[in-house]
């Protein structure tokens, strides 16, 4: 009845009707990860049939948990549409302008957390009541509508670029080259080059566009969602800029493609052969730091002060590390790794 891929290509929504029930499923690249019952189309039984679920069939909601225990007419696929959240990890199903269901990013079949359905009463393994959650999910859907309306409006991207480039001008001085690293796909992103100045003996490369949209799953893991949801990445280097900037072809889209988030102390492993790692030096991963001043090197530029969508934007500095160092961070924590790198006199500026 409905098949929709998220704007970032990381999730897919499928709504299916089998004559008895209608249900919605969210897939990642290979399997169903979340689901929600939408409606019965025949008389509801007094209790759920476990054999149906075990056989992989969409369940028929018990009579006590559906607004229409006698069943309802089939949904009209012509008036169904998907409304993906800004982060791309959740989706709402809209029926003719009204919310029919919401499958947030935290919905997870493996943990017994279904999505929310308008037709559901109370909480069941197949759906939770949307009515009971509208205080939070209604505004969330409204924000998603507003975001995609803005994103598709004429001049939206150019306006963001102007604001972000103006901020970098004030913090880092005049820019030089600019590279598009989005290949025309969402999220749009570029890299701005800020050459060395009299007081700064290194180039700063900064992403531009990651903060246009909130990162996925932040609300599930970050202690402070507001200050963690929007980021840009920066790299201080004396390498040739075109070579170093290639790292952002990988990193600028990573949170939305992998449905994850970047925060201070996170490490990310390079996905390809070690010899192809753009920053060289035998490294095969990166460490992200919001304040690399604990490491040797010149003064760290202050990039704070930019906000978007009502949220502050945090710049995270990219530091290449080896696989052994990445494992060290996983075992002992990123703070211990920073202490270890400082003892080795590892600069936070990536040299050629």
What's the rounded mean pLDDT across residues 60-75?
Answer: 95
Q: How confident is the model at residue 30 (pLDDT cuts 50, 70, 90)?
A: confident
Asked, for residue 289, whether it belongs to a domain, the answer is: yes
pLDDT digits (tens, 9 = 90+) for 95-111: 999 999 999 999 998 88
Q: Which residue has the higher pLDDT, 316 or 272?
A: 316
Residue 54: what pLDDT? 66
Total number of domains constituting the chain: 2
Residue 53: what pLDDT? 67
Whole-number average pLDDT of the chain: 95
Q: Which residue has the higher pLDDT, 149 or 109?
A: 149
Asked whether the CA dihedral 257, 306, 264, 192 is positive or negative, the reply is positive
Residue 50: what pLDDT? 73
240 backbone dihedrals φ, ψ, rounded to 5°: -60, 125
Q: Do 286 and 320 contact (CB within 8 A), yes or no?
A: yes
| Residue numbers of the domain that contains 86 | 2-151
Output the CA torsion 180→183→184→190 (10° steps).
-20
What's the rounded mean pLDDT across residues 127-135?
Answer: 97
One domain for residues 162 and 305: yes
Angle at 330 between CA 218 and CA 251, to 5 degrees: 50
Asked, for residue 351, whether it belongs to a domain, the answer is: no
Last residue of a domain, one of 108, 133, 151: 151
Asked, for residue 230, whether it belongs to a domain, the answer is: yes
pLDDT digits (tens, 9 = 90+) for 201-219: 999 999 999 999 999 999 9
């Amino acid at each position: 009845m409905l098949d929709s891929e998220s704007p970032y290509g990381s999730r897919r929504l499928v709504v299916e009707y089998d004559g008895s029930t209608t249900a919605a499923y969210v897939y990642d690249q290979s399997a169903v990860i979340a689901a929600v019952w939408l409606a019965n189309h025949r008389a509801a039984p007094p209790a759920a049939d476990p054999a149906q679920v075990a056989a992989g069939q969409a369940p028929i909601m018990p009579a006590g948990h559906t607004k229409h225990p006698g069943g309802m007419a089939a949904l009209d696929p012509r008036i169904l549409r998907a409304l993906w959240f800004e982060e791309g990890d959740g989706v709402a199903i809209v029926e003719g302008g009204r919310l029919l269901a919401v499958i947030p990013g935290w919905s997870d079949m493996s943990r017994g957390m279904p999505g929310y359905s308008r037709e559901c009463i109370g909480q069941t393994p197949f759906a939770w009541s949307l009515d009971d959650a509208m205080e939070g999910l209604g505004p969330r859907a409204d924000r998603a509508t507003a975001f995609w309306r803005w994103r598709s409006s004429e001049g939206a991207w150019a306006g963001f670029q102007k604001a972000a480039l103006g901020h970098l001008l004030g913090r880092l001085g005049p820019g030089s080259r600019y590279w598009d690293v989005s290949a025309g796909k969402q999220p749009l992103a570029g890299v701005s080059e800020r050459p060395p100045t009299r007081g700064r003996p290194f180039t700063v490369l900064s992403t531009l566009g990651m903060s246009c949209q909130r990162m996925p799953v932040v609300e599930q893991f970050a202690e402070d969602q507001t200050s963690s949801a929007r980021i840009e990445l920066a790299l201080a280097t004396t390498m040739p800029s075109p070579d170093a900037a290639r790292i952002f072809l990988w990193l600028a889209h990573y949170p939305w493609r992998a449905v994850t988030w970047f925060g201070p102390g996170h490490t990310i492993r390079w996905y390809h052969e070690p010899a192809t790692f753009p920053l060289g030096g035998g490294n095969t991963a990166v460490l992200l730091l919001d304040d690399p001043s604990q490491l040797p090197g010149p003064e760290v530029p202050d990039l704070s002060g930019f906000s978007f969508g009502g949220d502050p934007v945090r710049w995270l500095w990219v530091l290449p590390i080896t696989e052994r160092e990445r494992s060290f961070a996983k075992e002992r924590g990123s703070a211990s790794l920073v202490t270890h790198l400082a003892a080795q006199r590892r600069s936070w500026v990536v040299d050629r």
